[in-house]
Structure 1
Amino acid sequence: MAPSIPKTMRAVDIHNGKGDASALYINSETPVPTPTGSQALVKIHSFGLNRMDLLQREGQYPVPPSAPSTLGVEFSGTIASLPDSPAVEHGWSVGDEVFGLAYGGAYAEYIAVSTHMLIHKPGELSWEVCAGIPETWITATQALFLIGEFKQGQSVLWHAGASSVSIAGIQLAREEGAGAIYVTASSEEKISFCEELGATRGFNYKEGDWSKELLDATDGKGVDLIVDFVGASYFNQNLDAVAKDGRIVNLGFLGGNVVKGDVDIGRFLRKRCRFEGSSLRSRDEEYQGKLRDQLVEHALPRFKDGRFKVPVEKVFKMSEIKEAHELMESNKTKGKLICRVD
């Protein structure tokens, strides 16, 4: 017998629509979403935090038109209802334990999400770990393989090495036979953490010019693929550090989006390198679904047997969402921040 579905639920809301962490609050009168088309209704157990959530909270993130205003894109939980629709993917039943990726709405007790973006939760993994997989690991998969066209034996540099996407990327590159895996990070502690996951070497960007150190480490060759979240402040150094015929994949602008000063763009020709920006949330369901399938086929077995790790820095209650956002803003974490729906 299907569980009774309430009309309203608790969800994280934002006073006046945007603001700092103090503007977050629990709205207990939020309507429970109604699934349509290919969607299931999932009762959420845990959800993951991502840096885009901070930007959306501040009104600085372009949310897809169909997305709900509630924050959050990754979650774990139990299917509470399924519509009688031919668009629903086969193989799902009410009561199934799942985790998945959504366009928004995960900071809540319930979420309406496409069945094409759900994954069966393995018994070997906790609810909290599963809630930290979808956005970060799918983003890393997209950057490494679809955009970066990474091949076995190539070298890769992950900026913000202790961030959740780079943690995933380090492990993906390691298992796919990278020739070398480099990272940048803000402390020796974070660099050591990355090396434990499989990074070859790290560069502390606060203590020197990481691009010169990387060129020294590669005998002047540079690196085949750079995955960058920093943007403008690293643009010049990225062009120094990329190898001939290399790729720079940009996923964010933590260091600004306006390049300042004189920049020699002749390096694009001399190195025959490519700079390409990408995002995941703005992609259509078919594109995201292919990445989900790749995650299930290639990564899920490695999660089950322990080859892939999802380091969880801290688990909060949903009612502690302000503290969770403040910790993410501190840039002191090494791994995922997860909220459990209390």
Structure 2
Amino acid sequence: MISNNKQRSCLEETFSWVRDMHGVPQDAVHHAEGDVAVHTFMVLDCLTQLPAWQALPPQEQEILWASALLHDVEKRSTTVKEQDGSITAHGHARKGAITARQLLYRDIATPFDIRESIVALVRYHSMPLWLLEKPDPLKTLARVSMEVNTAWLAMLARADVLGRICGDAQDLLYRIDCFEEFCKEHDCWGKAMHFASAEAKWHFLTHEAAWPGYQPFDKPVAEVVMMSGLPGAGKDNYIKRHYKHWQVISLDAIREEMGISPVDKSGNGRVIQEAKERARALLRRKAGFVWNATNVTAQLRQQLTELFTTYKAHVTLVYVEVPYRYLHKQNTNREAVVPAAVIDKLVNKLEIPALWEAHAVIYAV
């Protein structure tokens, strides 16, 4: 848990990011109650008064409570006053999720599943209000349901609405009710949307006008394993244990072949291009392989997945993690040591692979 003492004064004394909420303005139309600090503690009060929250087991209560405390943590960095006088904080949920992960990985050591539940709740805390306005609500819901318990998400969204003063509260609560019914209609209330197979999931998520129940007839012609994880997390050891006889395309190995430093940005571009050429050569032969690199951002993983699936490969994404206190120690034991500053920079960018990012996702934590 973040803190045994949940008194506001203790939280503000203990955590600078809680103190930072003071004085961060909010638009009076949507948040007439005051600044982010006032709103956050109103949300916490409302959450703990919800019968649904009170019915949860203690650990699940802690997850929701921590998510409520953190849900607007990055309004401090994203709040701006627009030319028309309104106040906005675009992107605060996405940035807040990254901050929540950093805090719960580096500063407050938190078990992986609990940490990522909190991160996802922070990331999607306003999703129930806007889901049905998305271009493809069902695909969006499918992805969200693979990252977060949708029943918890609705609970947090409800507390977020109740913990503010605004003129459209009833409309917002109605939207949350609609979100709940939409989840139940598609059998993903409190659980991930179900698919008959990995290929069915991938087809639905990557094709327009696709139906979740469709089972594609085409079979993959190659198997690609994409590694993901911070330097020193143990990706090489995982490959030795589970893919000992596979061909491996390693960016570290190519970098060493070419004599390029890990901090040489232009050189790293050449390394990646060489790795992709080797991957294409194998895929043209319908040969499987392991792609071994950090791949810590969703955007980078998406680019690679698109490359591999163009050749009709089945992609398994393997994320490897060790506690932060071991990370730098294990890095120093590697043959190709990565500078500590580079590792911490990657920690700040880290996005854990979601279950929808590939045909299969394995968490080796």
Normalised by the length of structure 2, the TM-score is 0.30
Determine which structure has the larger strand proportion and give its number. 1
Normalised by the length of structure 1, the TM-score is 0.31
